[in-house]
Amino acid sequence: MSIQKSKAEIELMKKSSDILVNALIRIQEAIKPGVTTLDLDRIAESYIRKCGAIPSFLGYKSPYRGAVDYPGSICASVNNEVVHGIPGLRALKDGDIISVDIGVYFNGFHSDAARTFPVGTVTAEAQHLIDVTKQSFYEGIKNAVVGKRIRDISAAIQDYVESNGYSVVRDYVGHGIGTEMHEEPQIPNYSFKGANPRIVPGMALAIEPMVNAGDYNVKLLENKWTVVTLDNSLSAHYENTIIVTEGEPMIITETP
């Protein structure tokens, strides 16, 4: 497991990412009031398997004792759910927001991305949270260039989010990605102390701001997967897999 990926490995990651992007487009097209999160999960799994790939999250081992392996192909987190919402019979309602996190394993390599989508007509406040979260990703990757360090990405995300009156989640972070879903380095969405790797060409990074409308504190539900905001505020999530190049970073999971 190398932090720097070869050209051949990057090409394999692009193929995994192409499947992910098309699955995510299909999910987005299906989102409307009345659809269940399980419906969305089935759309994703069906398409991924049709392409000869495997959902990265399905069967993922929990770090918590007594927890079941992850039962879904996507994470579907609604409203105050931050990450790792388990797909089920919950029907989406007009005005909800839903964060869909999806991973694909194909030809030995993973890809990873997340989006928060509005369901029907949402409030201006909810849409603003979605927009700020997305833009914070782009502010962060301005620093995903050779010669910078991981903390530069983290600080840029935090500064942008907090300048808009929101908070970045501390307990969950971005990560390297490749033959494993979670590789080094970790990429917090806030300025941090400790090891601060230099950014080098060939790094494959999953950068994923998780942004709360209220306080940044979160809690884990009894299912030992779903994470919610402690103050019950809305939360949004935006993630892409990127490759560090000699120039600007290459986003390999970007959607139209």
Span 219-225, average pLDDT:
97
Tens digit of each residue's pLDDT (9 = 90 or more) over 204-221: 999 999 999 999 999 999
Band (1; pLDDT cuts 50, 70, 90): low
Residue 11 annotated as binding site: no
- Whether residue 254 is contained in a domain is answered as no
- Whether residue 26 is contained in a domain is answered as yes
User: 212: domain CATH number?
Assistant: 3.90.230.10
Boundaries of domain holding 134: 7-247
Tens digit of each residue's pLDDT (9 = 90 or more) over 101-122: 999 999 999 999 999 999 999 9
- Whether residue 59 is contained in a domain is answered as yes
Tens digit of each residue's pLDDT (9 = 90 or more) over 45-60: 999 999 999 999 999 9
- Whether residue 60 is contained in a domain is answered as yes
- Whether residue 252 is contained in a domain is answered as no
Band (66; pLDDT cuts 50, 70, 90): confident
- Whether residue 52 is contained in a domain is answered as yes
Look up the pTM and report it: 0.97
Kindly write down the DSSP assignment for every residue of the chain, as one continuous string. Answer: --SBPPHHHHHHHHHHHHHHHHHHHHHHHH-STT-BHHHHHHHHHHHHHHTT-EESSTTPPPSSTTPPPP--SEEEEETTEEE-PPP-SPBP-TT-EEEEEEEEEETTEEEEEEEEEE-SS--HHHHHHHHHHHHHHHHHHTT-STT-BHHHHHHHHHHHHHHTT-EE-SS--EEE-SSSSSEEEEE-SS---S--PBP-TTBEEEE--EEESS-S-EEE-TTSS-EEETT---EEE-BEEEE--SSSPEESS---
- Whether residue 1 is contained in a domain is answered as no
How many domains, in total, are found in the chain?
1
Residue 101 annotated as binding site: yes
Span 190-217, average pLDDT:
97
Residue 182 annotated as binding site: yes
